[in-house]
């Protein structure tokens, strides 16, 4: 089997343009002191330039305004975007809007696309994904309890959600709710589109986290109450009971994008590590001359390269065989990539000392956000279990009491296998 992650020169030129654009135009947004109106005016001007370059919303097919790029190319683009928190918004690939637009594109009705998808792609609407619940373990989505009951031509939704990404500023939410409580564990839930102004929907707050009480301009992770929320029956997204199927279609490629964005963030921290090592002096020589710092640099480079190749390989499998074939690879990169992100940022902070710990550099904020990577889209422990189970399915326990590689047993078998030749050799002598 051959693995081919190569891309044509024309696409490489686009990536080079993106690198320059993100560094020169997007990085300054991180430190710009402006109100929301002024800030978004600048963002929209950058989005216009991205659209002119035909790099807007590239996760979608051409008929929906995207470029129809496969996961390898998308991954390479997300690696560049991941270096700055504002780059995905500038390129129309921000979560959760990107994932929501994908499932609307693949599972939405023509009417749903007209009302929700097209304005979302144009930046006229913002969306949220409402799945996690405070009363149930997020690692086991079969425990979801928020319920929707079909009464006449309306769904009536009751339940409690939290960590609903961008819930406070969303114009509509895609809610994962139980519609068939007596069905099998993976056929109980459906996805329903809920307008943010639906009566009974209460946006309680943005939940305080390590990353700060709330994100800038209302972005963040919201607590949402559904109290007899009524929405039209036609707001059901896809088939009834297909919520888990749709979620997997959304989360598989989404994890590729997460991991590549983490690599972009890790690379930025790595660059800072190397520059500081060459700039700072201690005990009579540059930090770069100290063996410990050299080990940090070498380990970081090796880990980032390994994570990058693993992620591109997973993307290549999705492109060539489909998301289902890449389940193991996606789980591998999810927990491995999160660890690499954390470790590289941690080393960069250490080499900067107190300056790295301070908010005078972006490292401390990057570090706080990196901690959440171990929980996004399923905790690391769940992905490790999934990988182990898939690997073990390809093995069988050896017969008898000894391992298959037991040397005394193998020695006896080898003597029997070559007995005739050994006897002939003795006779010949």
Residue appearing with tokens 């943010």: 196
**pLDDT score at 176:** 96
Q: pLDDT at position 182, please?
A: 94
Q: Is residue 408 part of a domain?
A: no
What is the predicted pLDDT for the residue at 397? 94
User: What per-residue confidence (pLDDT) applies to 135?
Assistant: 92
Are residues 257 and 383 part of one domain?
yes
Range of the domain at 226: 127-237
Task: Please check whether residues 227 and 359 belong to one and the same domain.
Answer: no
In this predicted structure, what is the pLDDT of residue 247? 87
Q: What is the pLDDT of residue 2?
A: 65
pLDDT at position 362 is 95
Residues of the chain with pLDDT under 70: 1-2, 64-66, 213-215, 428-429
Q: Which of 93, 121, 149 is the last residue of a domain?
A: 121
Which pLDDT does position 65 carry in this prediction?
Answer: 63
Q: Which residues pair with 130 in a beta bridge?
A: 175
Verify that 96 and 186 share a domain, yes or no: no
CATH number at 375 reads 1.20.140.10
* 3-class DSSP string for 57-71: CCCCCHHHCCCCCCH
Place of tokens 């996606």: 330
**The whole model's pTM is what?**
0.89
Integer Cα distance of 283 and 159 in angstroms = 60
Kindly report the CATH number assigned to the domain that includes residue 35: 1.10.540.10
The torsion of the CA quartet 115, 117, 121, 126, rounded to 10 degrees, works out to: 80
pLDDT of residue 62: 76
Using CB atoms within 10 Å of the CB of residue 281, give its burial: 0 to 12 exposed, 13 to 18 middle, 19+ buried: exposed
CB distance 315 to 240 below 8 Å: no
Domain count of the fold of the chain: 3
Contact 115, 185 (CB under 8 A): no
Final residue of a structural domain among 100, 121, 142: 121
Q: How far is the C-alpha of 76 from the C-alpha of 166, rounded, in Å?
A: 25
Three-class DSSP category at 217: helix
Quickly count: other Cβ atoms within 10 Å of residue 126's Cβ: 19
Both 110 and 132 in one domain: the answer is no
pLDDT in tens, 101-158: 989 988 999 999 999 999 998 888 999 999 999 999 877 888 999 999 999 999 999 9
Cα 83 from Cα 29, distance rounded (Å): 12
- Structure confidence at residue 429 (pLDDT): 57
* Domain identity same for 284 and 378: yes
Determine the pLDDT at residue 7.
87
Beta strands in 35-165 (DSSP E): 127-130, 147-151, 154-165
Domain boundary among 87, 121, 155: 121
138 and 225 share a domain? yes
Nearest-10 crossing angle of helices 243-279, 327-352: 30
Same domain, 15 and 114: yes
Cα-to-chain-centroid distance, residue 39: 26
User: Is 276 inside a domain boundary?
Assistant: yes
If asked whether residues 231 and 252 sit together in one domain, one would say no
What per-residue string of b and e applies to 369-393 under the rule 16 or more CB within 10 Å gives b? bbeebbbbbbbbebbeebbeeeeee
Is 4 a domain residue? no
State both tokens at 235.
């707001």
Q: Are 202 and 263 part of one and the same domain?
A: no
Torsion-angle region of 108 (φ positive above 0: left; ψ -120 to 50: alpha; else: beta): beta
């Amino acid at each position: 089997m051959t693995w081919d992650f190569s891309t044509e020169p024309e696409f490489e030129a686009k990536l080079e343009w993106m690198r320059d654009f993100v560094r020169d135009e997007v990085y300054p947004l991180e430190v710009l002191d402006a109100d929301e109106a002024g800030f978004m005016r600048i963002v929209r001007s950058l989005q216009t330039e991205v659209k002119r370059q035909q790099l807007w919303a590239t996760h979608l097919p051409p008929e929906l305004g995207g470029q129809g790029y496969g996961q390898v190319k998308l991954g390479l683009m997300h690696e560049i975007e991941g270096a700055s928190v504002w780059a995905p918004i500038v390129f129309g690939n921000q979560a959760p809007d990107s994932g929501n637009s994908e499932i609307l594109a693949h599972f939405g009705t023509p009417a749903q696309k007209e009302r929700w998808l097209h304005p979302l792609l144009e930046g006229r609407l913002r969306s949220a994904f409402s799945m996690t619940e405070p009363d149930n373990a997020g690692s086991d989505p079969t425990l979801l309890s928020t319920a929707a009951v079909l009464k006449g031509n309306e769904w009536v939704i009751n339940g409690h959600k939290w960590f609903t990404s961008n819930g406070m500023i969303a114009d509509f939410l895609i809610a994962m709710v139980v519609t068939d409580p007596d069905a099998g564990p993976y056929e109980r839930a459906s996805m329903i589109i809920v307008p943010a102004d639906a009566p009974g929907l209460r946006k309680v707050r943005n939940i305080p986290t390590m990353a700060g009480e709330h994100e800038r301009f209302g972005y963040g992770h919201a607590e949402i109450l559904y109290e007899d929320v009524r929405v039209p029956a036609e707001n059901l997204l896809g088939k009834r009971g297909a919520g888990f199927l749709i979620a997997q279609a959304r989360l598989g490629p989404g994890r590729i994008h997460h991991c590549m964005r983490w690599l972009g963030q890790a690379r930025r921290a790595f660059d800072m590590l190397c520059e500081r090592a060459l700039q700072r002096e201690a005990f009579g020589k540059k930090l770069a001359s100290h063996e410990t710092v050299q080990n940090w640099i070498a380990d970081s480079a090796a880990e980032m390269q390994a994570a990058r190749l693993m992620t591109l390989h997973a993307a290549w499998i999705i492109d060539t065989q489909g998301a289902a074939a890449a389940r193991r690879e996606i789980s591998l990169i999810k927990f491995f990539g999160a660890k690499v992100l954390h470790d590289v940022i941690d080393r960069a902070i250490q080499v900067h000392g107190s300056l790295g710990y301070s908010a005078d550099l972006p490292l401390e904020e990057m570090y706080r956000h990196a901690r959440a990577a171990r929980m996004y889209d399923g905790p690391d422990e769940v992905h490790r279990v999934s990988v182990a189970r898939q690997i073990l399915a390809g093995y069988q326990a050896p017969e008898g009491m000894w391992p298959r590689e037991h040397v005394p047993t193998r020695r006896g078998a080898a003597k029997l296998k070559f007995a005739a030749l050994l006897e002939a050799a003795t006779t010949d002598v």
